[in-house]
Structure 1
Amino acid sequence: MMPSAKFPDLENASVLITGGGSGIGAALVEGFARQGAKVAFIDITRETSLALCDRLESSICTRPLFLKADLRDIEALRAAVSAAAKAHGPVTVLINNAALDDRHAVEDVTPDYWDANQALNLRPHFFTAQAVMPGMKQAGRGSIINFTSTSFLINHPDMPSYTAAKAGIVGLTKGLAGYLGPHGIRVNAVAPGWVMTDRQRERWVTPETLAAHVAKQCIREAMVPEDLIGTCLFLASDASRMLTAQTLIVDGGYL
Protein backbone atom coordinates (compact mmCIF):
# COMPACT_ATOMS: atom_id res chain seq x y z
CA MET A 1 0.00 0.00 0.00
CA MET A 2 1.44 3.33 -1.07
CA PRO A 3 1.55 6.13 1.55
CA SER A 4 -1.19 8.72 1.26
CA ALA A 5 1.07 11.61 2.32
CA LYS A 6 2.38 14.03 -0.29
CA PHE A 7 5.73 15.82 0.10
CA PRO A 8 5.73 18.78 -2.31
CA ASP A 9 9.47 19.43 -1.93
CA LEU A 10 10.21 16.00 -3.42
CA GLU A 11 8.59 16.88 -6.74
CA ASN A 12 11.35 17.03 -9.38
CA ALA A 13 13.97 16.09 -6.77
CA SER A 14 16.88 14.06 -8.17
CA VAL A 15 16.69 10.73 -6.33
CA LEU A 16 19.11 7.80 -6.63
CA ILE A 17 18.34 4.37 -5.16
CA THR A 18 20.71 1.40 -5.11
CA GLY A 19 19.27 -2.07 -5.51
CA GLY A 20 16.09 -0.58 -6.95
CA GLY A 21 15.10 -3.42 -9.25
CA SER A 22 13.33 -5.63 -6.74
CA GLY A 23 12.15 -5.96 -3.16
CA ILE A 24 12.26 -2.91 -0.92
CA GLY A 25 14.23 -1.00 -3.54
CA ALA A 26 11.55 -1.42 -6.18
CA ALA A 27 8.90 -0.22 -3.73
CA LEU A 28 11.01 2.87 -3.02
CA VAL A 29 11.47 3.57 -6.74
CA GLU A 30 7.69 3.56 -7.16
CA GLY A 31 7.05 5.53 -3.99
CA PHE A 32 9.37 8.37 -4.98
CA ALA A 33 8.19 8.32 -8.59
CA ARG A 34 4.61 8.79 -7.37
CA GLN A 35 5.81 11.90 -5.50
CA GLY A 36 6.91 13.37 -8.83
CA ALA A 37 10.61 12.89 -8.14
CA LYS A 38 13.10 12.19 -10.92
CA VAL A 39 14.19 8.70 -9.93
CA ALA A 40 17.26 6.79 -11.05
CA PHE A 41 18.15 3.41 -9.66
CA ILE A 42 21.13 1.09 -9.83
CA ASP A 43 20.72 -2.66 -10.09
CA ILE A 44 22.67 -5.58 -11.50
CA THR A 45 19.64 -7.43 -12.89
CA ARG A 46 18.41 -6.08 -16.21
CA GLU A 47 15.23 -8.11 -16.79
CA THR A 48 13.42 -7.29 -13.54
CA SER A 49 14.63 -3.70 -13.61
CA LEU A 50 13.31 -3.03 -17.10
CA ALA A 51 10.03 -4.74 -16.20
CA LEU A 52 9.69 -2.32 -13.27
CA CYS A 53 10.37 0.65 -15.56
CA ASP A 54 7.78 -0.58 -18.06
CA ARG A 55 5.17 -1.11 -15.34
CA LEU A 56 5.64 2.38 -13.85
CA GLU A 57 5.62 4.02 -17.26
CA SER A 58 2.32 2.30 -17.98
CA SER A 59 0.68 2.86 -14.61
CA ILE A 60 1.81 6.35 -13.59
CA CYS A 61 3.25 7.73 -16.87
CA THR A 62 6.68 8.08 -15.31
CA ARG A 63 9.68 6.01 -16.32
CA PRO A 64 12.56 5.81 -13.83
CA LEU A 65 16.12 5.65 -15.12
CA PHE A 66 17.65 2.18 -14.79
CA LEU A 67 21.43 2.12 -14.47
CA LYS A 68 23.00 -1.33 -14.67
CA ALA A 69 26.06 -1.68 -12.45
CA ASP A 70 27.73 -4.08 -10.07
CA LEU A 71 28.11 -2.17 -6.81
CA ARG A 72 31.30 -4.07 -6.07
CA ASP A 73 32.87 -2.26 -9.03
CA ILE A 74 33.51 1.21 -7.61
CA GLU A 75 34.33 2.78 -10.97
CA ALA A 76 31.08 1.43 -12.43
CA LEU A 77 29.26 2.77 -9.37
CA ARG A 78 30.78 6.21 -9.84
CA ALA A 79 29.85 6.16 -13.52
CA ALA A 80 26.24 5.32 -12.61
CA VAL A 81 26.09 8.25 -10.17
CA SER A 82 27.41 10.54 -12.90
CA ALA A 83 24.81 9.24 -15.35
CA ALA A 84 22.02 9.89 -12.84
CA ALA A 85 23.24 13.45 -12.27
CA LYS A 86 23.58 14.07 -15.99
CA ALA A 87 20.01 12.91 -16.61
CA HIS A 88 18.25 14.47 -13.60
CA GLY A 89 20.60 17.05 -12.12
CA PRO A 90 22.83 16.59 -9.07
CA VAL A 91 21.51 13.89 -6.76
CA THR A 92 19.99 15.42 -3.63
CA VAL A 93 18.42 12.23 -2.25
CA LEU A 94 20.47 9.05 -2.05
CA ILE A 95 19.08 5.79 -0.70
CA ASN A 96 21.70 3.11 -0.15
CA ASN A 97 19.36 0.12 -0.15
CA ALA A 98 21.21 -2.70 -1.91
CA ALA A 99 22.29 -5.69 0.16
CA LEU A 100 22.63 -9.47 0.02
CA ASP A 101 21.63 -11.41 3.12
CA ASP A 102 22.96 -14.84 2.22
CA ARG A 103 23.26 -17.14 5.22
CA HIS A 104 26.74 -18.39 6.14
CA ALA A 105 28.17 -20.41 9.02
CA VAL A 106 31.03 -18.98 11.05
CA GLU A 107 33.11 -22.09 10.34
CA ASP A 108 32.75 -21.68 6.57
CA VAL A 109 33.76 -18.02 6.21
CA THR A 110 37.05 -17.49 4.36
CA PRO A 111 38.92 -14.20 3.97
CA ASP A 112 37.74 -14.01 0.36
CA TYR A 113 34.10 -14.60 1.34
CA TRP A 114 34.34 -11.97 4.07
CA ASP A 115 35.79 -9.37 1.72
CA ALA A 116 33.23 -10.12 -1.00
CA ASN A 117 30.39 -9.84 1.50
CA GLN A 118 31.60 -6.49 2.84
CA ALA A 119 32.19 -5.28 -0.72
CA LEU A 120 28.47 -5.56 -1.33
CA ASN A 121 26.90 -4.92 2.06
CA LEU A 122 29.00 -2.04 3.41
CA ARG A 123 31.58 -0.60 1.04
CA PRO A 124 29.15 0.75 -1.61
CA HIS A 125 27.34 2.81 1.03
CA PHE A 126 30.46 4.88 1.54
CA PHE A 127 31.52 5.24 -2.07
CA THR A 128 28.04 6.13 -3.33
CA ALA A 129 27.80 8.81 -0.64
CA GLN A 130 31.25 10.03 -1.62
CA ALA A 131 30.18 10.24 -5.27
CA VAL A 132 27.02 12.29 -4.62
CA MET A 133 28.67 14.54 -2.05
CA PRO A 134 30.01 17.24 -4.43
CA GLY A 135 26.59 17.78 -5.99
CA MET A 136 24.88 17.94 -2.62
CA LYS A 137 27.47 20.40 -1.34
CA GLN A 138 26.89 22.57 -4.39
CA ALA A 139 23.14 22.44 -3.83
CA GLY A 140 23.61 23.25 -0.14
CA ARG A 141 21.33 20.41 0.88
CA GLY A 142 20.81 16.70 0.62
CA SER A 143 19.55 13.58 2.35
CA ILE A 144 21.42 10.29 2.45
CA ILE A 145 19.46 7.31 3.75
CA ASN A 146 21.45 4.17 4.52
CA PHE A 147 19.64 0.88 4.93
CA THR A 148 20.91 -1.18 7.82
CA SER A 149 18.95 -4.02 9.47
CA THR A 150 17.64 -5.18 12.81
CA SER A 151 19.52 -8.45 12.26
CA PHE A 152 22.54 -7.32 14.27
CA LEU A 153 20.26 -6.04 17.05
CA ILE A 154 18.55 -9.40 17.51
CA ASN A 155 21.82 -11.38 17.54
CA HIS A 156 21.01 -13.21 14.30
CA PRO A 157 23.29 -16.27 14.35
CA ASP A 158 23.39 -17.29 10.69
CA MET A 159 25.17 -14.45 8.84
CA PRO A 160 28.00 -12.87 10.88
CA SER A 161 29.63 -11.00 8.00
CA TYR A 162 26.28 -9.50 7.00
CA THR A 163 25.41 -8.44 10.55
CA ALA A 164 28.88 -6.91 10.96
CA ALA A 165 28.30 -4.89 7.80
CA LYS A 166 24.88 -3.76 8.97
CA ALA A 167 26.28 -2.63 12.31
CA GLY A 168 29.04 -0.81 10.43
CA ILE A 169 26.43 1.11 8.44
CA VAL A 170 25.21 2.73 11.65
CA GLY A 171 28.73 3.92 12.45
CA LEU A 172 29.23 5.11 8.89
CA THR A 173 25.93 7.01 9.04
CA LYS A 174 26.94 8.87 12.18
CA GLY A 175 30.41 9.69 10.85
CA LEU A 176 29.06 11.01 7.55
CA ALA A 177 26.37 12.99 9.36
CA GLY A 178 29.02 14.73 11.41
CA TYR A 179 31.10 15.55 8.36
CA LEU A 180 28.33 16.60 5.99
CA GLY A 181 26.00 18.40 8.41
CA PRO A 182 27.76 21.78 8.02
CA HIS A 183 26.93 21.60 4.30
CA GLY A 184 23.21 21.11 4.92
CA ILE A 185 23.38 17.39 4.16
CA ARG A 186 21.60 14.98 6.48
CA VAL A 187 22.54 11.32 6.87
CA ASN A 188 20.26 8.80 8.57
CA ALA A 189 19.81 5.05 8.67
CA VAL A 190 16.71 2.88 8.41
CA ALA A 191 16.67 -0.53 10.09
CA PRO A 192 13.85 -2.73 8.78
CA GLY A 193 12.60 -5.79 10.57
CA TRP A 194 11.60 -8.90 8.64
CA VAL A 195 10.08 -7.67 5.40
CA MET A 196 8.22 -10.12 3.19
CA THR A 197 10.00 -9.61 -0.11
CA ASP A 198 9.82 -12.26 -2.83
CA ARG A 199 13.36 -13.34 -1.89
CA GLN A 200 12.43 -13.85 1.75
CA ARG A 201 9.29 -15.81 0.86
CA GLU A 202 11.17 -18.04 -1.58
CA ARG A 203 14.09 -18.84 0.72
CA TRP A 204 13.25 -18.56 4.39
CA VAL A 205 9.60 -17.87 5.16
CA THR A 206 7.30 -20.65 6.31
CA PRO A 207 3.83 -20.19 7.79
CA GLU A 208 5.23 -21.21 11.17
CA THR A 209 8.26 -18.89 11.20
CA LEU A 210 6.20 -15.95 9.96
CA ALA A 211 3.47 -16.48 12.55
CA ALA A 212 6.02 -16.75 15.34
CA HIS A 213 7.74 -13.54 14.23
CA VAL A 214 4.56 -11.51 13.81
CA ALA A 215 3.37 -12.66 17.24
CA LYS A 216 6.35 -10.81 18.76
CA GLN A 217 5.55 -7.55 16.96
CA CYS A 218 3.37 -4.89 18.57
CA ILE A 219 1.59 -4.51 15.24
CA ARG A 220 0.46 -8.01 14.37
CA GLU A 221 0.82 -7.79 10.60
CA ALA A 222 3.53 -9.08 8.31
CA MET A 223 5.66 -6.26 6.95
CA VAL A 224 5.84 -5.72 3.19
CA PRO A 225 8.26 -3.59 1.11
CA GLU A 226 5.76 -0.73 0.83
CA ASP A 227 5.93 -0.27 4.61
CA LEU A 228 9.37 1.34 4.21
CA ILE A 229 8.30 4.01 1.73
CA GLY A 230 6.78 6.51 4.15
CA THR A 231 9.82 6.51 6.43
CA CYS A 232 12.13 7.20 3.50
CA LEU A 233 9.90 9.94 2.08
CA PHE A 234 9.93 11.64 5.47
CA LEU A 235 13.72 11.38 5.80
CA ALA A 236 14.21 12.65 2.26
CA SER A 237 11.92 15.66 2.65
CA ASP A 238 12.36 18.92 4.50
CA ALA A 239 9.80 17.63 7.03
CA SER A 240 12.84 16.07 8.74
CA ARG A 241 15.24 18.95 8.16
CA MET A 242 16.78 18.82 11.67
CA LEU A 243 16.90 15.04 11.89
CA THR A 244 20.32 13.55 11.21
CA ALA A 245 22.73 10.90 12.55
CA GLN A 246 19.77 8.76 13.60
CA THR A 247 18.72 5.15 13.01
CA LEU A 248 14.98 4.65 12.62
CA ILE A 249 13.83 1.11 13.38
CA VAL A 250 10.84 0.03 11.28
CA ASP A 251 9.90 -3.43 12.52
CA GLY A 252 6.28 -3.30 13.68
CA GLY A 253 7.49 -3.02 17.26
CA TYR A 254 9.41 -6.30 17.36
CA LEU A 255 12.19 -4.62 19.30
Structure 2
Amino acid sequence: MQHPATFHDLRDASVFITGGGSGVGAALTDGFLAQGANVAFIGRSDASNFVDEMREKHGRTPLFLQGDITDTDLLHSTMTKATEAHGPLNVLVNNAANDKRHTLEETTPEFWDWMVAINLKAYYFACQQAARLMHAKGGSIINFSSISYLMGNSSYPIYTTSNAGITGMSRSLARELGPQNIRVNALAPGWVLTQKQLDMWATPEDLAAHLDRQCLKEHLTPEDMIAPTLFLASETSRAMTGQCMVVDGGVVGTG
Protein backbone atom coordinates (compact mmCIF):
# COMPACT_ATOMS: atom_id res chain seq x y z
CA MET A 1 0.00 0.00 0.00
CA GLN A 2 1.33 3.43 -0.97
CA HIS A 3 1.32 5.83 1.97
CA PRO A 4 -0.81 8.86 1.04
CA ALA A 5 0.88 11.36 3.38
CA THR A 6 4.20 12.12 5.04
CA PHE A 7 4.24 13.24 8.66
CA HIS A 8 7.59 14.99 8.91
CA ASP A 9 7.54 15.36 12.70
CA LEU A 10 7.53 11.58 13.10
CA ARG A 11 11.03 11.25 11.64
CA ASP A 12 13.30 9.95 14.43
CA ALA A 13 10.35 9.83 16.84
CA SER A 14 10.52 7.19 19.57
CA VAL A 15 7.50 4.89 19.12
CA PHE A 16 6.41 1.90 21.21
CA ILE A 17 3.75 -0.51 19.89
CA THR A 18 2.18 -3.42 21.74
CA GLY A 19 1.63 -6.42 19.47
CA GLY A 20 3.69 -4.75 16.77
CA GLY A 21 4.89 -7.91 15.05
CA SER A 22 1.68 -9.32 13.58
CA GLY A 23 -1.71 -8.30 12.19
CA VAL A 24 -2.61 -4.63 12.51
CA GLY A 25 0.41 -4.09 14.76
CA ALA A 26 2.82 -5.23 12.06
CA ALA A 27 1.21 -2.83 9.60
CA LEU A 28 1.67 -0.02 12.14
CA THR A 29 5.34 -0.89 12.68
CA ASP A 30 5.80 -0.82 8.91
CA GLY A 31 3.96 2.50 8.65
CA PHE A 32 5.96 4.26 11.36
CA LEU A 33 9.26 2.96 9.95
CA ALA A 34 8.26 4.34 6.55
CA GLN A 35 7.97 7.75 8.21
CA GLY A 36 11.50 7.46 9.57
CA ALA A 37 10.47 6.74 13.16
CA ASN A 38 12.40 4.57 15.60
CA VAL A 39 10.05 1.74 16.52
CA ALA A 40 10.14 -0.70 19.42
CA PHE A 41 7.46 -3.31 19.91
CA ILE A 42 6.52 -6.09 22.30
CA GLY A 43 4.93 -9.39 21.33
CA ARG A 44 4.61 -12.91 22.71
CA SER A 45 5.69 -14.76 19.56
CA ASP A 46 9.11 -14.60 17.96
CA ALA A 47 9.18 -11.82 15.37
CA SER A 48 12.75 -12.20 14.12
CA ASN A 49 11.70 -12.81 10.52
CA PHE A 50 9.46 -9.74 10.56
CA VAL A 51 12.31 -7.65 11.99
CA ASP A 52 14.58 -8.83 9.18
CA GLU A 53 11.88 -7.99 6.62
CA MET A 54 11.51 -4.47 8.01
CA ARG A 55 15.28 -3.92 8.03
CA GLU A 56 15.46 -5.00 4.41
CA LYS A 57 12.53 -2.78 3.43
CA HIS A 58 13.32 0.40 5.35
CA GLY A 59 17.03 0.28 6.11
CA ARG A 60 16.28 0.64 9.82
CA THR A 61 15.65 -2.08 12.34
CA PRO A 62 12.71 -2.12 14.75
CA LEU A 63 13.57 -3.15 18.29
CA PHE A 64 11.70 -6.36 19.15
CA LEU A 65 11.25 -7.08 22.85
CA GLN A 66 9.60 -10.44 23.37
CA GLY A 67 7.19 -10.72 26.26
CA ASP A 68 3.67 -10.91 27.61
CA ILE A 69 1.88 -7.58 28.06
CA THR A 70 -0.13 -8.97 30.97
CA ASP A 71 3.11 -9.07 33.00
CA THR A 72 3.07 -5.43 34.10
CA ASP A 73 6.64 -5.35 35.42
CA LEU A 74 7.91 -6.86 32.18
CA LEU A 75 5.82 -4.47 30.09
CA HIS A 76 7.23 -1.50 31.99
CA SER A 77 10.81 -2.75 31.68
CA THR A 78 10.49 -3.27 27.91
CA MET A 79 9.18 0.27 27.53
CA THR A 80 12.15 1.54 29.51
CA LYS A 81 14.52 -0.46 27.29
CA ALA A 82 12.89 1.13 24.25
CA THR A 83 13.64 4.62 25.55
CA GLU A 84 17.21 3.61 26.35
CA ALA A 85 17.58 2.67 22.69
CA HIS A 86 15.56 5.43 21.05
CA GLY A 87 15.31 8.30 23.54
CA PRO A 88 12.31 9.68 25.45
CA LEU A 89 9.03 8.19 24.30
CA ASN A 90 7.03 10.25 21.82
CA VAL A 91 4.28 7.81 20.87
CA LEU A 92 2.63 4.83 22.53
CA VAL A 93 0.26 2.66 20.50
CA ASN A 94 -1.71 0.16 22.58
CA ASN A 95 -2.73 -2.30 19.88
CA ALA A 96 -2.39 -5.85 21.24
CA ALA A 97 -5.73 -7.52 21.98
CA ASN A 98 -7.50 -10.87 21.99
CA ASP A 99 -11.06 -11.28 20.69
CA LYS A 100 -11.45 -14.94 21.66
CA ARG A 101 -15.11 -15.92 21.28
CA HIS A 102 -17.07 -16.78 24.42
CA THR A 103 -20.52 -16.61 25.99
CA LEU A 104 -21.79 -15.37 29.33
CA GLU A 105 -22.72 -18.89 30.44
CA GLU A 106 -19.30 -20.40 29.83
CA THR A 107 -17.29 -17.54 31.37
CA THR A 108 -15.29 -18.33 34.48
CA PRO A 109 -13.65 -15.77 36.80
CA GLU A 110 -10.25 -16.99 35.57
CA PHE A 111 -11.19 -16.40 31.93
CA TRP A 112 -12.57 -12.96 32.81
CA ASP A 113 -9.30 -12.01 34.51
CA TRP A 114 -7.25 -13.27 31.56
CA MET A 115 -9.29 -11.37 28.97
CA VAL A 116 -9.36 -8.13 30.94
CA ALA A 117 -5.63 -8.40 31.63
CA ILE A 118 -4.93 -8.47 27.89
CA ASN A 119 -7.61 -6.13 26.61
CA LEU A 120 -7.77 -3.41 29.28
CA LYS A 121 -5.34 -3.77 32.19
CA ALA A 122 -2.26 -3.86 29.94
CA TYR A 123 -3.47 -0.72 28.17
CA TYR A 124 -3.85 1.13 31.44
CA PHE A 125 -0.42 0.26 32.78
CA ALA A 126 1.26 0.94 29.45
CA CYS A 127 -0.28 4.42 29.63
CA GLN A 128 1.06 4.77 33.17
CA GLN A 129 4.61 3.99 32.06
CA ALA A 130 4.32 6.11 28.92
CA ALA A 131 3.44 9.14 31.02
CA ARG A 132 6.64 8.57 33.00
CA LEU A 133 8.81 8.09 29.93
CA MET A 134 7.57 10.87 27.70
CA HIS A 135 9.73 13.95 27.30
CA ALA A 136 8.76 17.21 28.99
CA LYS A 137 7.34 18.38 25.66
CA GLY A 138 4.68 15.63 25.85
CA GLY A 139 3.58 13.01 23.39
CA SER A 140 0.70 10.99 22.00
CA ILE A 141 -0.99 7.85 23.32
CA ILE A 142 -3.23 5.94 20.92
CA ASN A 143 -5.42 3.20 22.39
CA PHE A 144 -6.98 0.79 19.92
CA SER A 145 -10.61 0.11 20.76
CA SER A 146 -13.20 -1.40 18.39
CA ILE A 147 -16.64 -0.64 16.99
CA SER A 148 -17.73 -4.04 18.36
CA TYR A 149 -19.09 -2.46 21.55
CA LEU A 150 -20.76 0.37 19.61
CA MET A 151 -22.55 -2.27 17.53
CA GLY A 152 -23.51 -4.29 20.61
CA ASN A 153 -21.95 -7.40 19.12
CA SER A 154 -22.44 -10.74 20.85
CA SER A 155 -20.05 -13.71 21.08
CA TYR A 156 -17.29 -11.90 22.98
CA PRO A 157 -18.84 -9.80 25.78
CA ILE A 158 -15.62 -9.38 27.79
CA TYR A 159 -13.89 -8.06 24.67
CA THR A 160 -16.63 -5.52 24.02
CA THR A 161 -16.67 -4.57 27.70
CA SER A 162 -12.93 -3.95 27.56
CA ASN A 163 -13.22 -1.84 24.42
CA ALA A 164 -15.88 0.33 26.00
CA GLY A 165 -13.51 0.67 28.95
CA ILE A 166 -10.67 1.71 26.67
CA THR A 167 -12.71 4.62 25.35
CA GLY A 168 -13.68 5.76 28.85
CA MET A 169 -10.13 5.35 30.10
CA SER A 170 -8.77 7.37 27.18
CA ARG A 171 -11.10 10.26 27.94
CA SER A 172 -10.19 10.32 31.63
CA LEU A 173 -6.45 10.05 30.99
CA ALA A 174 -6.65 12.80 28.39
CA ARG A 175 -7.93 15.07 31.16
CA GLU A 176 -5.31 13.91 33.66
CA LEU A 177 -2.33 14.02 31.30
CA GLY A 178 -3.27 17.13 29.35
CA PRO A 179 -1.24 19.42 31.64
CA GLN A 180 1.82 17.35 30.68
CA ASN A 181 0.98 17.97 27.01
CA ILE A 182 0.26 14.28 26.54
CA ARG A 183 -2.64 13.60 24.20
CA VAL A 184 -4.69 10.43 24.66
CA ASN A 185 -7.08 9.24 21.98
CA ALA A 186 -8.85 5.99 21.14
CA LEU A 187 -9.06 4.57 17.63
CA ALA A 188 -11.97 2.24 16.92
CA PRO A 189 -11.52 0.13 13.79
CA GLY A 190 -14.26 -1.76 12.07
CA TRP A 191 -13.76 -5.36 11.01
CA VAL A 192 -10.16 -5.46 9.84
CA LEU A 193 -9.40 -8.62 7.91
CA THR A 194 -6.15 -9.79 9.43
CA GLN A 195 -4.97 -13.29 8.66
CA LYS A 196 -6.30 -14.41 12.05
CA GLN A 197 -9.77 -13.07 11.23
CA LEU A 198 -9.72 -14.75 7.82
CA ASP A 199 -8.61 -18.05 9.33
CA MET A 200 -10.98 -18.13 12.32
CA TRP A 201 -14.08 -15.99 11.94
CA ALA A 202 -14.58 -14.59 8.44
CA THR A 203 -17.22 -16.82 6.86
CA PRO A 204 -18.51 -15.76 3.43
CA GLU A 205 -21.93 -15.09 4.96
CA ASP A 206 -20.60 -12.88 7.74
CA LEU A 207 -18.31 -11.01 5.38
CA ALA A 208 -21.21 -10.27 3.03
CA ALA A 209 -23.45 -9.16 5.90
CA HIS A 210 -20.83 -6.82 7.33
CA LEU A 211 -19.98 -5.31 3.95
CA ASP A 212 -23.67 -4.62 3.50
CA ARG A 213 -23.55 -2.51 6.70
CA GLN A 214 -20.57 -0.49 5.47
CA CYS A 215 -21.08 2.70 3.49
CA LEU A 216 -17.84 2.05 1.63
CA LYS A 217 -18.08 -1.30 -0.13
CA GLU A 218 -14.56 -2.54 0.44
CA HIS A 219 -13.33 -4.68 3.31
CA LEU A 220 -10.80 -3.13 5.65
CA THR A 221 -7.20 -4.35 5.76
CA PRO A 222 -4.50 -3.77 8.40
CA GLU A 223 -2.96 -1.16 6.10
CA ASP A 224 -6.12 0.94 6.40
CA MET A 225 -5.21 1.58 10.04
CA ILE A 226 -1.79 3.10 9.30
CA ALA A 227 -2.69 6.62 8.18
CA PRO A 228 -5.27 7.25 10.95
CA THR A 229 -2.72 6.13 13.55
CA LEU A 230 0.02 8.30 12.06
CA PHE A 231 -2.37 11.25 12.11
CA LEU A 232 -3.11 10.76 15.82
CA ALA A 233 0.60 10.31 16.56
CA SER A 234 1.65 13.40 14.66
CA GLU A 235 1.48 17.04 15.66
CA THR A 236 -1.02 17.31 12.80
CA SER A 237 -3.61 16.35 15.44
CA ARG A 238 -2.03 18.49 18.19
CA ALA A 239 -5.38 19.94 19.33
CA MET A 240 -7.14 16.56 19.43
CA THR A 241 -7.36 14.59 22.67
CA GLY A 242 -9.93 12.61 24.62
CA GLN A 243 -11.58 11.47 21.41
CA CYS A 244 -12.59 8.14 19.90
CA MET A 245 -11.93 8.15 16.16
CA VAL A 246 -13.89 5.51 14.26
CA VAL A 247 -12.31 4.01 11.14
CA ASP A 248 -14.80 1.42 9.92
CA GLY A 249 -15.83 2.17 6.35
CA GLY A 250 -19.05 3.73 7.63
CA VAL A 251 -20.78 1.22 9.90
CA VAL A 252 -21.46 3.16 13.12
CA GLY A 253 -21.97 6.83 13.87
CA THR A 254 -20.49 8.81 16.76
CA GLY A 255 -22.50 12.03 16.62
TM (norm. structure 1) is 0.97
Query: Distance in 1 between the 2:133 and 2:206 partners?
Result: 44
1:128 corresponds to: 126
1:11 corresponds to: 11
Q: Give the C-alpha shift of residue 168 in structure 1.
A: 0.3
CA RMSD of aligned residues (A): 0.8
Matches within 5 A, 1:226-241: 226-241=223-238
Q: Give the C-alpha shift of residue 176 in structure 1.
A: 0.5
- Find out whether 1:99 has 2:119 as its counterpart: no
1:83 corresponds to: 81
- Find out whether 1:214 has 2:211 as its counterpart: yes
Query: Distance in 2 between the 1:2 and 1:216 partners?
Result: 27
Q: Give the C-alpha shift of residue 3 in structure 1.
A: 2.1
Amino acid at match of 1:16: F
Amino acid at match of 1:33: L
2:36 corresponds to: 36
Contact 1:2-1:226 within 8 A present in 2 as well: no
Query: Distance in 1 between the 2:196 and 2:145 partners?
Result: 17
Q: Give the C-alpha shift of residue 8 in structure 1.
A: 0.5
Structure 2: give runs of 5+ residues left out of the alignment. Answer: none
Contact 1:2-1:229 within 8 A present in 2 as well: no
Query: Distance in 2 between the 1:24 and 1:2 partners?
Result: 16
Runs of 4 or more consecutive aligned structure 1 residues displaced over 6 Å after TM superposition: none
2:250 corresponds to: 253
The Cα offsets for residues 167-207 of structure 1, whole Å up to 9 and x where unpaired, read as 00011101110001111110000000000000000001122
Query: Distance in 2 between the 1:111 and 1:69 partners?
Result: 24
Aligned-pair identity in percent equals 49
1:53 corresponds to: 51
Contact 1:121-1:166 within 8 A present in 2 as well: yes
Q: Give the C-alpha shift of residue 63 in structure 1.
A: 1.1
Q: Give the C-alpha shift of residue 147 in structure 1.
A: 0.4
Contact 2:136-2:180 within 8 A present in 1 as well: no
Contact 2:194-2:222 within 8 A present in 1 as well: yes
Secondary structure (helix, strand or coil) at the match of 2:93 reads strand
- Find out whether 1:203 has 2:185 as its counterpart: no
Query: Distance in 2 between the 1:17 and 1:135 partners?
Result: 14
Q: Give the C-alpha shift of residue 52 in structure 1.
A: 1.1
2:158 corresponds to: 161
Query: Distance in 1 between the 2:154 and 2:230 partners?
Result: 32
Query: Distance in 2 between the 1:197 and 1:50 partners?
Result: 20
Query: Distance in 1 between the 2:50 and 2:236 partners?
Result: 28
The counterpart of 1:244, out of the listed 238, 241, 245, is 241
Q: Give the C-alpha shift of residue 215 in structure 1.
A: 1.8
The counterpart of 1:149, out of the listed 146, 149, 174, is 146
Contact 2:80-2:133 within 8 A present in 1 as well: no
TM (norm. structure 2) is 0.97
Structure 1: give runs of 5+ residues left out of the alignment. Answer: none
Q: Give the C-alpha shift of residue 2 in structure 1.
A: 3.9
